[in-house]
Amino acid sequence: MKTLTLFRRSTGVPHLVKGMALLVVLAGQSMWAQAQSGKTFYRYLNEQGIPVLNHQIPPEYAQKGYEVVSANGEVIKVVPPAPSAKAATQMELKRQREAELAQWDEELRRRYSTVRDIEAAKKRKLVQVDGSIAILKGNIRNLKSQIADQQAKAARSERMGQAVPEATLKALEGLEEELRVSEAQIKEREKQYKQIEAKYDRDIERFKIISPERPRNTTTADKR
């Protein structure tokens, strides 16, 4: 009893209650600060260009870019604005071009070991096309000869005052059609020839970029 009395006199009940209340308030503030420290907020610009800090962000503002910040204002993440339609198209075209280049490079590495391999493949292809053109030219010479024979027959009939036979006319018509087809085929083969040349030349230039040949080491024998 004396101990309790002494304690009350030394501390004072009113002061003790006030102290305990203060501790409770401080503890509550500490717990609230800890809870808030785990939260994140969004900072973005509104239509007037004024920064806004909120726990959520409207979709129309999200497209313009924003920052993710902590409760104490520290920037956690910066989200850039969504690209415009033009920029998005350019990015897609760039992505497609990079994918095409990667596929091209893979094919070149798989098929060839050196530039000389590509040059040899180019030569083989061009020889094939040249052979096809030569055959077509031979056919054209033959067709022209046959046409000349039929025209001569038709001319003889006309000189004799006779009508040109139907068989001769049909033969001429068929031969001339074959001639037109063969001449068109030659033009197509010549076009193909140029395309093959250009295609393999591009392959060669690209291969030099992705697989540059190492310079030969100069030996004593080479110097001699």
The least confident of 24-28, 41-45, 104-108 is 24-28
Q: What does the block give as tokens for 82?
A: 């969504």
Report which residue type is found at 117: D
Task: Work out the average pLDDT over 143-150.
Answer: 94
State how far the Cα of 203 lies from the Cα of 120, in Å rounded to an integer.
12
Q: Between these two residues, 109 and 9, which has the higher pLDDT value?
A: 109
Alpha helices in 42-114 (DSSP H): 59-62, 85-111
Q: Tell if the pTM clears 0.95, that is, is over it.
A: no
Q: What does the block give as tokens for 128?
A: 């094939």
pLDDT at 14: 47
Three-state SS at 211: coil
**Within 10 A of 207 (CB to CB), how many other CB atoms are there?**
22
pLDDT surpasses 60 at 219: no
* Cα dihedral across residues 145, 151, 157, 161: positive or negative: negative
Nearest to 80 by CA among 94, 56, 62: 62
pLDDT at 216: 60
pLDDT at 215: 60
Residue with tokens 């006199």: 9
Task: Work out the average pLDDT over 128-141.
Answer: 96
pLDDT surpasses 90 at 112: yes
